[in-house]
Amino acid sequence: MQTTIHREADRVWLKGVSGWSLHERPSSVHAAQAAVMQAVGEDLTYDYLLGVSGLAFRMQVSKKTLCPSSPHAFCGYPCVARSRESLPWQLQVIEMKPEQKESTQAARQAVVNSIERRVPVQYGNEEDGIIIGYQRKGEEWICLHPLRDRGQKPFVTSEWPWGVAVFGERKPHLATRRELAIGAMEQAVKMARTDEAEAYYLRFRAWDDYIVRLNAMDTADDNTKSEALLGNAWIYQCLTSYRASAAYYLREVACDFESPVAAHLSHAAHLYERIAGEVLSDKEHMPPRIAPFPGGPDDGKFWTAEMRREQVRRLEAALPLEREAIGEIEVALYQITSGAEFRKNK
């Protein structure tokens, strides 16, 4: 356990818990999972959880608009169950409405009990944050949230969230990292073969639709462009960051497999690395400079056709690499299921 508990009057809080910014870890769901696990001494990283969940391999855009919800782990094709499966701790998810007083009080008590055990609690409110303490007997929570001071400054709230996730005891049995990796690869391939999920396009169709919408901005009015600015920036930043996590994850799990599977996973990692660090962005052109945020460093600078063409050029250059990377994962899976791989410790 990395946390220590502190008390002052009716205030109880944990030290040894780290927050994060959305720029550093854009999937707040997995960032919160990683923050809790690291606080209790488990060696699970954000990149690993993003990979094992499948989100590192997902591309998704809303069917109607360039909605900033598109990259969220819970939206469209869900990418949360597998990261929860990989957690070595049991997890109780509690969702209810504020007017359900009895259930709400029970949830608040569960949060208090968790803090007393020195275990932070994950909670969702637009994005996910973590509860690191309480006061007034649990009526108010002390939290870290990436939308507040970049997740670095604790604050107090009594607002009821969309839900909380309380971590219980360690699981008696846990799937192996290899088993989890195979499931993540299967999910990556399945998503690449799926055209849509609920209100979102997936797969290569999502890439194509994204490019079409960017090109359509040339004839759109200023209000339409303004409304698309945030969603476009967030989708592009998440796509770049997620592919960097995919590269990290595949390199990490490749060592759990023998050749030729390991070689295919390593090559897929190299392709994702190129997508994230050479094609969608580079040392001089980070995602916010290519797809600007409203209120960011380019605030007041017109979102020009030249900027959008550069973004489209990068997306079109990344797409063949994306197809190739998925192909490498498909080959690796075939070799695993066909017995072409010589398994370690067999």
The 10s digit of each residue's pLDDT in 103-132 is 788 899 999 999 999 999 999 988 999 999
SS3 89: strand
d(Cα 334, Cα 332) in Å, to the nearest integer? 5
* pLDDT (0 to 100) of residue 346: 44
- Confidence tier at 299 by pLDDT (50, 70, 90): low
Is the full-model pTM beyond 0.75? yes
| pLDDT for 201 beyond 50 | yes
SS3 94: strand
Q: Roughly what angle, to the nearest 10 degrees, separates helices 222-254 and 46-53?
A: 100
- Conformational region of residue 321, where left means phi above 0, alpha means psi within -120 to 50, and beta covers everything else: alpha
Q: Roughly what angle, to the nearest 10 degrees, separates helices 222-254 and 261-274?
A: 150
| Longest CA pairwise span in the chain (Å) | 64
Neighbours of 18 (CB within 10 A): 14
User: What's the chain's average pLDDT?
Assistant: 93
- Tokens at residue 154, please? 């604790």
- Confidence tier at 301 by pLDDT (50, 70, 90): low
The better pLDDT of the pair 235, 104 is held by: 235
SS3 88: coil
Neighbours of 181 (CB within 10 A): 24
Q: Which of 158, 184, 186, 179 is nearest to 55 (CA)?
A: 184
Q: Quick one: what percent of the chain has pLDDT higher than 90?
A: 85
d(Cα 28, Cα 214) in Å, to the nearest integer? 26
* pLDDT (0 to 100) of residue 344: 47
Q: What is the pLDDT of residues 8-24, one digit of tens each?
A: 999 999 999 999 999 99
* pLDDT (0 to 100) of residue 148: 92
d(Cα 212, Cα 228) in Å, to the nearest integer? 13
Q: Which of 26, 46, 47, 29 is nearest to 38 (CA)?
A: 46
d(Cα 88, Cα 48) in Å, to the nearest integer? 13
Q: Looking at 237-246, 262-271, 280-289, 336-345, which range is the least confident one?
A: 336-345
The better pLDDT of the pair 213, 96 is held by: 213
Distance of CA 285 to the CA centre of its chain: 22
Q: What is the pLDDT of residues 92-108, one digit of tens each?
A: 999 878 778 787 888 99
Q: What is the pLDDT of residues 42-95, one digit of tens each?
A: 999 999 999 999 999 999 999 999 999 999 999 999 999 999 999 999 999 998
| pLDDT for 296 beyond 70 | no
Q: Are 321 and 271 in contact (CB under 8 A)?
A: yes
